[in-house]
Homo-oligomer: A and B are copies of this chain.
Amino acid sequence: MEYTLKALCALIPEGQLSGYTDATLCGIASLEGAQLGDLSFLSNLKYKKHLALSKASVVLIPKAFEADPLPNQAYLQVPNPSLALAKVCADIERTLTPAHRPGIHPSAIVAPSAVVDPSAYVGPLCVIEAQAKIAADAVLQSHVFIGQGAQIGSRSWLFSGVRVLERCCVGSDVRIHSNAVIGSDGYGYEFHEGKYLKLPQIGNVIIEDWVEIGANTTIDRGRFGATHIQEGTKIDNLVQIAHNVVIGKNCLIVAQAGIAGSTHLEDYVVVGGQAGIAGHLNIGQGSQIGAQSGLNHNLDPKSFVRGTPALPFMAAHRIDILKQRLPDLFKRVERLEK
């Protein structure tokens, strides 16, 4: 990367510049790690102590924040430094990863009845089965499998090794990372005469627009009906979403979390990393479930729980502290008994 300060300001027209205005930028770094020539940013005020010592040539700082740049340093005041930085990163990204030329790589295997928009890119060694549809400007990087009758929306980006199995529907502007599996069978058996008989899983998965799905995440198809991920929800790596789960709009599901069958998350729910949610529950809008929690009951809207079994945040916190004082408590009771 190489940006003059002028080019940088053109990307961030909302910014207000102060200090030394002749820098050329050739890297991005944290306040602590930055060297001369780097762009940095102060987003979380927790790190403001690093600002005065930072060697960065240009720092994006919040509008309300008052401070003076060092000599040879510039500050660019913006409403949201993290978003301003994102604009710069997006610009760099366009240089790093040139747009794919539309078309189907000759090594891809596309069924005659599949429909691929001419503006889509189907990379090397992809497989698109019968009746599947790939919409405009979609990108399938390589080794992607699109099962029979599955659909991929406009501008969606599927990285190498993604599997979208039979009849699953992926919306527009979706991003699915490598080796994620959409539409594996739900885990359903009936115990009968000493054996587990498989319950056929004939539903599908519906993923709405602007969803992101992490690498090696698995989303099972519905037993009948759909497993449903609604608009704007972001799912991290190695997450398990079981059959017939419904996840509302703009939820966050952090890495290695698991959600059991038929549970419904309303909009704006946040599930921490490695948390587990039992099946057939309803999680109210805006609830937050802490990392590694184990939740086996419904939650009212805006609940904030953690722990196993999950408790309201403050109660869980208090119990964690008292647990550490158990050795003392046992001694005190002993003393009382004497």
Interface residues of A (CB under 8 A from B): 27-30, 33, 80, 82-83, 85-86, 89-90, 92-93, 96-97, 105, 107, 109, 123-125, 127, 141-143, 145, 147-148, 159-161, 163, 165-167, 175, 177-179, 181, 184-185, 187, 189-190, 192, 194-202, 210, 212, 214-218, 220, 223-225, 232, 234, 236-238, 240, 242, 250, 252, 254-256, 258, 260, 273-274, 276, 278, 291-292, 294, 307-309, 311, 315, 318-320, 322-327, 329-330, 332-333, 336-337
Contact = CB atoms under 8 A, between A and B. Distances in A.
5 contacts: A215-B220, A218-B255, A292-B294, A307-B308, A308-B308
In this complex, the member of A197, A215, A223, A323 whose beta carbon has the largest number of chain B beta carbons within 10 angstroms is A215
B89 A202 contact: yes
Given A177-B184, A190-B80, A258 B258 contact: no
Contact of A292 (B83, B96, B181, B308): B308
Contacts of A258: 238, 255-256, 273-274
Given A127-B125, A197-B86, A215 B143 contact: no
Given A89-B200, A125-B125, A199-B89, A234 B190 contact: no
Contact of A216 (B80, B142, B181): B181
A201 B197 CA distance: 34
B218 A29 contact: no
Nearest to A336: B336
Given A90-B200, A96-B166, A218 B190 contact: no
A315 B324 contact: yes
B215 A218 contact: yes
B216 A216 contact: yes
A83 to B, nearest CB: 5
Contacts of A178: 145, 163, 165, 181, 184
Nearest to A256: B258
Contact of A238 (B142, B147, B238): B238
Given A93-B202, A195-B232, A255 B238 contact: no
Given A125-B125, A179-B181, A218-B216, A330 B327 contact: no
A319 B329 contact: no
A177 B185 contact: yes
B311 A324 contact: yes
Contacts of A179: 161, 163, 179, 181, 216
Contacts of A177: 181, 184-185
In this complex, the member of A92, A127, A178, A198 whose beta carbon has the largest number of chain B beta carbons within 10 angstroms is A178
Contacts of A325: 330
A122 to B, nearest CB: 13
A317 to B, nearest CB: 9
A221 B311 CA distance: 34
Given A160-B163, A184-B178, A237 B255 contact: no
Contacts of A212: 185, 198
A190 B82 contact: yes
A308 B320 CA distance: 9
A256 B237 CA distance: 12
Contact of A291 (B105, B127, B278): B278
